[in-house]
Structure 1
């Protein structure tokens, strides 16, 4: 499990970021006005939750960078993932379960020219929420969990850079002690110096 911890954290953050970016362009709420055309107004995720796109892009960047970071930065990125996930969970849950006026006010104002929370609310006959707020909420819960998971397991991750460093250090130690086994090139060097390589 620990060997796969880095992969799990990275893929979860990338997934949450990608779904968030895609979701920001999709319809989250369909608003039907009291008076007006029969077709409802379509509210995209970027209007329902204005910080969705930038925070989802930040999650994507965290996921990509997490695969090459050291221990201290892993903890920092885990905390950032936790914070981003927490903010997005709170905001998307509001749209998914309560659909506040602020989620669709900008779209109604653009269509009618009327501003103000109470005025916009008076214009709206009904709202219908699509699947996208719920889907985005789920992946943001996963993002929050990935942040916690990263913080908890980061110390036990191993990276290729760490393995290369340990291998280089071990080789340097062996070379310094002179106990490294000879290879064919070393045997030829011994012969050229007049030494018996079989000794």
Structure 2
């Protein structure tokens, strides 16, 4: 399980970030206006929660970076995932269960030209939620769990590259690395290999 902890954490966090980005473009709330005609307005996730898209992008970036960082940054990124996840759980829960006027005011104002929370509230007949807030809320709960899992298992994500090189050195298989190092300078391909092994190429 520990061997797969890095992959599991990275995949779950990246998927949660991608879900948030997709969800930000989908309809979260449907507003019925009390204007005599009962016009319907669709409110996307990005309007219901203005920070949804940027925070989702941050989660996506955290997940991608988590695949190559060292021990200290694993703890930092895990903690950030938990913090962002808790914030998004709170914001999404509020929209999902409370349907506050503040989550639809931008859409209503854009459509009707009426501004001000009290004026917009008087214009709204009803607000209903689609399935997207619930799905996204589940994703944020999973993100918090992934962040906690990352913190709990981070120390076990030993760099495989170091272990393999140590084993090679102990078995006397040091000719190939020495030959490679002596035959050409350290280039971008070597840097990429170092990153793939979870090492810092600038060290």
Q: For 1:151-186, what per-residue CA distance to the aligned partner results, in whole angstroms no more than 9, with x for missing partners?
A: 11101123xxx2322333444456xxxxx49x9xxx
- The count of residues paired between Structure 1 and Structure 2 equals 174
Partner of 1:116: 116
Partner of 1:186: none
Partner of 2:59: 59
Q: Distance in 2 between matches of 1:157 and 1:31?
A: 48
Q: What's the TM-score once normalised by structure 1's chain length?
A: 0.82
Three-state SS of the structure 1 residue aligned to 2:104 is helix
Q: Which protein is bigger by CA-based radius of gyration?
A: 1
The aligned runs of 1:12-161 (5 Å cut-off) are 12-158=12-158
Partner of 2:185: none
Three-state SS of the structure 2 residue aligned to 1:41 is strand
Q: Distance in 1 between matches of 2:113 and 2:91?
A: 26
Q: Distance in 2 between matches of 1:170 and 1:6?
A: 22
Three-state SS of the structure 2 residue aligned to 1:30 is strand
Is 1:168 matched up with 2:171? no
Q: CA deviation at 1:145?
A: 0.9
Poorly superposed stretches of 4+, deviation over 3 Å: 36-39, 169-174
